[in-house]
Amino acid sequence: MNKNLLLFSFLFTCFITHSFAQLQTSKGPLFKDYGPVYPVPDASFRMDKATDMKAVFDVSRKLKDSSRVNPSIETAARYMNLHLQNEYKKEHLKVAMVIHGSAVKDMLSSEFYNKEFGVDNPNTELIQALLDEGVELVLCGQSSAYHGVNLEKSIPGVQMALSAMTALVHLQNEGYRLIHFK
Look at residue 143 and tell me if it is in a domain.
Answer: yes
3 occurs within a structural domain: no
Which one-letter DSSP state was computed for residue 104? G
Residue 29: is the preceding peptide bond cis (ω within 30°)? yes
**Quick check: is 43 in a domain?**
no
- 71-85 helix and 124-132 helix, angle to the nearest 10 degrees: 40
Q: Which domain holds residue 101?
A: 54-180
Q: Is 73 among the domain residues?
A: yes
Query: Looking at residue 115, which CATH number applies to its domain?
Result: 3.40.1260.10
Instruction: Say which DSSP state 148 is in.
Output: T
Has residue 1 been placed in a domain? Answer: no
Residue 175 Ramachandran class (φ > 0 left, ψ -120 to 50 alpha, else beta)? left
How far CA 174 is from CA of 60, 92, 95, 164, 178, in Å, comes to 22, 15, 12, 15, 11
Does the residue 164 lie in any domain?
Answer: yes
Whether 42 maps to a domain, the answer reads: no
Beta-bridged to residue 137, according to DSSP, are: 97
Q: Give how many domains the chain has, as a whole number.
A: 1
Say if 98 falls within a structural domain.
Answer: yes
Per-residue pLDDT of the chain (182 residues; tens, 9 = 90+): 566 555 455 544 545 444 445 568 888 899 999 999 999 888 899 889 999 999 999 999 999 999 999 999 999 999 999 999 999 999 999 999 999 999 999 999 999 999 999 999 999 999 999 999 999 999 999 999 999 999 999 999 999 999 999 999 999 999 999 999 87
| Predicted model pTM | 0.85
Burial, 113: exposed, middle or buried (Cβ in 10 Å; 0-12, 13-18, 19+)? buried
Tally of CB atoms within 10 A around 146: 13
